[in-house]
Structure 1
Amino acid sequence: MCGRYEAGQKQKIAEAFHVSVTLNDSYFGANVECAPGSIQPVICMKDGERQIIEMRWGFKFPDRLAFNARSDKLTTSPFWKERLTQRCIIPASSMLEWKKTASGPKPKYRLSVKGRHVLGMAGLWGPWKNPKTGQWEDTFAIITDDPNTKMSEIHDRQAVILEPREYAEWLSESERPPLHLLRILQDEDLVIDPIQTEAGGVKTEPPQLGLFS
């Protein structure tokens, strides 16, 4: 899964995706964690052009927050299948994940891709009604796939990371979704670093899910 991530620097995102970024600086920067239920910058096609706009991370249902979409459910789940024509890319400098443990602390890790300052996570988006306000909002979910060998030591899912040369095809307004782009990141490209406190202890707090502001 993808439980949290860091969007990264505004200028680097603008350069990587060839978009003009005019959003508030509070969305970007080092150590700014993006959590499910929050508003985040997302890249998509609107009005025939590539744009970066604010969207809510996660489709809120009465019993859950659907902030990840499993790649193997995209064509079998009516909910995700309906949104396959509305593809987006979520910019990130890194992903954050907690290692599953039988008991005790859950170590936290920062996941990045070797040689890249900006990642493009594959996603789906669409209008969705905020259950608290009753207003319709643009909402997105991050697509996940099976983990590679390195990631499997931490979690049983990982976000799908697109290659920069694949951005245009994924964002295209074609009715036929390019599902062949949803591939597992190779072990040698994944960098995993433990996140530690200043005192040297590993942070253990898990993400708080299902919150809408």
Structure 2
Amino acid sequence: MAGTKQFDEDEVLNRAMLLFWRRGFGATSMQDIAQATGVLRGSLYHAYGDKQALFLKIYERYRAWFLDAVRAALAAPTAEQALARYLRFSIETLTSADGDDASRGCLTTKTATDETAMDEAIRTALRGLLDAVRRLLEERLAQPDAVERLALPPAAAARLIVTMTRGLVVMERVYGDAAGLQEIADDLLRVVLPACGQAKK
């Protein structure tokens, strides 16, 4: 990026991320971002290029935050605690709001279902995050306390969990019922680790 930025980059990128997260890629314009951040549209173009380039930079920050949170959840001492914490984190993330009563949903799934966002560079970024989550889950499920109790091989169980958490996004969008999402998560945990019974919170 040429030149010196005349704004707080962390603040600008965080505000822009919340805007993409709440409204979606297609419904967010560079003018919207300019208004939300207080930075002139021309300055945004000069600093980051077009909207897609800015989104990809923001998504890298989102990816780093998300994966750090997943690692923290999966570091729990038992397999059921680790999965319960990961699922709870997933639900809390997609049901949270930032200043209004509407939940933000999931930035990854919202972008994946946006036809205007299906450029290959964006698809690659989305796949990268989902693949990284799947690998972290597989690594945790391959540990001795989990693998001997799994109903599926670690790789298949990890893939199922990632897929089901994407489905939770749709259910939240339709029903707006956080308690119902937790019931689904508890059922999933019992399917993956059938001997664990009710997950410990």
- Structure 1 length normalisation: TM-score? 0.25
- Structure 2 length normalisation: TM-score? 0.26
The structure with the largest helix share of the pair is 2
